[in-house]
A and B are shown apart, each in its own frame.
Chain A
Amino acid sequence: EPEVTQTPSHQVTQMGQEVILRCVPISNHLYFYWYRQILGQKVEFLVSFYNNEISEKSEIFDDQFSVERPDGSNFTLKIRSTKLEDSAMYFCASSVNSGQPQHFGDGTRLSIL
């Protein structure tokens, strides 16, 4: 069964550094998403992406965050200058179309030191 893959599984970065989290969505899916889960808290929506642009974003997704689909397969989340509070599990998801079930990757655990 096709799946969403995320790399790396664990990323450790110094505060203030830039980090890029990578995702390969399911190949025929058109909608892409990022969520995060801070330890002990809820899974929170960050952003959705369709047709090469952001379709919806949360208030968490401020100017230090950006997303990109640099080629036909990858979908990336960049955090420009990381803060301690960015430490979380980041999940990528994709869906075949609007309103269809979202399929999640296994997540990248981001630790900011």
Chain B
Amino acid sequence: GNSVTQMEGPVTLSEEAFLTINCTYTATGYPSLFWYVQYPGEGLQLLLKATKADDKGSNKGFEATYRKETTSFHLEKGSVQVSDSAVYFCALSDFGSEKLVFGKGTKLTVNP
């Protein structure tokens, strides 16, 4: 079945550091890929998405590129801020299905 694996946290960085959170997936079809973010006490918010191979999703300085050859969708940001502290979830939805399949989440803490 479909699955998503993302790097275990927690990740702790200093402000302005470079961020990478790895995500790989297994899917039988041609999935769409997503990154969701959950700030403390809030629900999941869509951060970015990519719907086909080589697409790059971007939002709020975050980027991720859909790599079919490595089945990956790594999240990157060049310079993190304290306000980026949150839990980040990688997810996929397969063609023809409504359900999102999530990774376990990676907690990011950014210190001033």
Contact = CB atoms under 8 A, between A and B. Distances in A.
Contacts of B102: 42-44
Chain B interface, DSSP helix/strand/loop, else mixed: strand
- Chain A contact patch, size range: 20 to 34
A48 B99 contact: yes
Interface in A12-48: 31, 33, 35, 41-45, 48
Chain A interface, DSSP helix/strand/loop, else mixed: strand
Interface of B: 32, 34, 36, 41-46, 49, 89, 91, 93, 97-105
A78 interface: no
A8 to B, nearest CB: 15
Interface of A: 4, 6, 31, 33, 35, 41-45, 48, 50, 55-56, 58, 91, 93, 98-99, 101-107
